[in-house]
């Protein structure tokens, strides 16, 4: 069972937070002529009413929100839920919610088609129908992802603190980065220090990838020992009071060769160009293009094998995607990563990543760990 940690609980939510979020969601539902939405993705339930359990169903109606949980979560839901009536169900959530929909004669309802299995959906529908025709079901699409993309100042501050924690833990571990140390020991040290500094958990398994292993963009930390004359990639992020940060730094052990210097400086220039270019309203694909153009100009375009970034918030990967051709505009208040990289088989890789707030008055880097010096002498 996942319980909210004491430290996270210390950070009080503003009283109006969840009311405002539900009001914004209702406005959006109005536009697509829906008055009910069945919310089944746990992080969205948390976003809308503060309940942090891993099982529950939230039904948002025109005036009320109802949260169904099974007996494992009743006490937790009563304590955490803000503005949603908690209903305990011992017969299965889909049956209970379906029966409620039938009795209330709900005519039309949206559901989160990407976060509901076919079997679960069939159970809700079956129950809601009874002997009648039941409500008309509409796939609501990424309506909540779009809402969550825009962070209010309170949320931006949560991510700023998660980013500051991530950066400071990295700085503290830097003196331990030297030849002979195993990747997994550095990863363990980083994660331990994140928790000691107040993080709930790492946002993902910390990556430490040295030498040739750095050519795998998603290498996990292994037992490999760092060697002089190699590049090492560190990709880490903390979750602090529910909000994540995501940061990557690359270091060279020793005096960099021309080859290492060319790779590093190209990626650094690509990353700067994309970060500096971020502004409200720009298409996510344009940010990707800014980074990609710099690498292509340096003859490294083919070695940049992933997209430039992603949104960060309650989840470490959320909307938008900073990828080729993405036309979605990024409004003020979006928080995204900018993380170009190059990967050379048999040699190694360079990736530099920051979490950045797209503010009205320009981009703000939320993971303020130094990028220089990037090598040890
Ligand atoms: Zn990362
Ligand atoms: Zn990332």
How many Cβ atoms from other residues are within 10 Å of residue 137's Cβ?
Answer: 16
Ligand 1 centroid–CA 367 distance in Å is 11
Taking residues 202-221, report their average pLDDT: 95
Q: Is the model's pLDDT at 26 over the cut of 90?
A: yes
Ligand 1 centroid–CA 164 distance in Å is 15
Q: Is the model's pLDDT at 274 over the cut of 80?
A: yes
pLDDT class of 289 with cuts at 50, 70, 90? very high
Which class would CATH give 3-147?
alpha beta
Ligand 1 centroid–CA 237 distance in Å is 7
Cα–Cα distance list, 277 to 4, 150, 346, 358 (Å): 37, 19, 33, 10
103-142: per-residue pLDDT in tens?
A: 999 999 999 999 999 999 999 999 999 888 899 999 999 9
Instruction: Please check whether the domain covering 150-365 is classified as CATH 3.30.750.24.
Output: no
What's CA 359's distance to the chain center, in Å?
18
* Domain coordinates in residue numbering, the chain: 3-147, 150-365
Tokens of 66: 């109802």
Ligand 2 centroid–CA 236 distance in Å is 9
Separation CA 109–CA 99 (nearest Å): 14
State residue 306's pLDDT score: 96
- Would you say the pTM of this structure is higher than 0.85? yes
Cβ–Cβ under 8 Å, residues 268 and 371:
yes
State residue 238's pLDDT score: 98
The residues placing their C-beta within 5 Å of ligand 1, an ion, are 235, 246, 248, 353
296-339: per-residue pLDDT in tens?
A: 999 999 999 999 999 999 999 999 999 999 999 999 999 999 99
State residue 110's pLDDT score: 98
| Residue found by looking up tokens 């909000």 in the block | 243
Say which residues have a Cβ less than 8 Å from residue 144's Cβ, sequence separation at least 6: 25, 39, 41, 44, 47, 48, 112
159-201: per-residue pLDDT in tens?
A: 999 999 999 999 999 999 999 999 999 999 999 999 999 999 9
- How high is the mean pLDDT of the chain? 95
State residue 307's pLDDT score: 97
The answer to whether the 3-147 and 150-365 domains have the same CATH topology is no
| Residue found by looking up tokens 């490999």 in the block | 224
The residues placing their C-beta within 5 Å of ligand 2, an ion, are 246, 337
Q: Which residues pair with 69 in a beta bridge?
A: 88
């Amino acid at each position: 069972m996942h319980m909210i940690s004491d430290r996270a609980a210390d950070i009080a939510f503003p009283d109006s937070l969840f009311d405002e979020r539900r009001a914004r969601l209702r406005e959006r539902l109005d536009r697509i002529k829906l008055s009910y939405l069945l919310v089944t993705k746990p992080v969205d339930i948390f976003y809308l009413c503060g309940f942090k359990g891993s099982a529950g169903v939230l039904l948002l109606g025109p005036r009320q929100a109802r949260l169904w949980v099974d007996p494992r979560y009743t006490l937790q839901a009563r304590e955490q839920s803000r503005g949603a009536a908690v209903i305990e169900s011992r017969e299965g959530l889909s049956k209970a919610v379906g029966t409620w929909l039938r009795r209330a004669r709900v005519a039309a309802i949206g559901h989160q088609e990407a976060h509901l299995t076919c079997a679960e959906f069939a159970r809700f529908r079956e129950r809601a129908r009874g002997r009648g025709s039941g409500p008309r079901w509409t796939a609501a699409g990424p309506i909540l992802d779009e809402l969550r993309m825009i962070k209010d100042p309170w949320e931006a501050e949560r991510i700023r603190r998660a980013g500051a924690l991530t950066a400071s833990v990295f700085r503290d571990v830097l003196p331990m980065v030297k030849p002979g140390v195993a990747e997994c020991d550095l990863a363990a040290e980083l994660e331990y220090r994140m928790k000691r500094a107040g993080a709930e958990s790492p946002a993902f398994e910390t990556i430490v990838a040295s030498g040739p292993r750095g050519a795998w963009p998603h290498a996990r930390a292994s037992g490999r020992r760092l060697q002089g004359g190699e590049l090492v990639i560190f990709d880490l992020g903390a979750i602090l009071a529910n909000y994540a940060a995501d940061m990557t730094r690359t270091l060279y052990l020793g005096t960099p060769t021309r080859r290492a210097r060319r790779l590093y400086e190209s990626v650094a220039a690509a990353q700067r160009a994309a970060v500096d270019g971020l502004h409200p309203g720009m298409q996510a694909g344009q940010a990707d293009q800014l980074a990609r153009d710099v690498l292509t100009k340096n003859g490294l375009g083919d070695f940049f094998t992933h997209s430039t970034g992603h949104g960060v918030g309650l989840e470490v990967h959320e909307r938008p995607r900073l990828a080729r051709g993405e036309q979605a505009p990024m409004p003020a208040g979006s928080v995204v990563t900018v993380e170009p990289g190059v990967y050379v088989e048999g040699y190694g890789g360079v990736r530099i990543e920051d979490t950045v707030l797209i503010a009205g008055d320009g981009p703000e880097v939320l993971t303020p760990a130094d990028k220089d010096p990037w090598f040890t002498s």
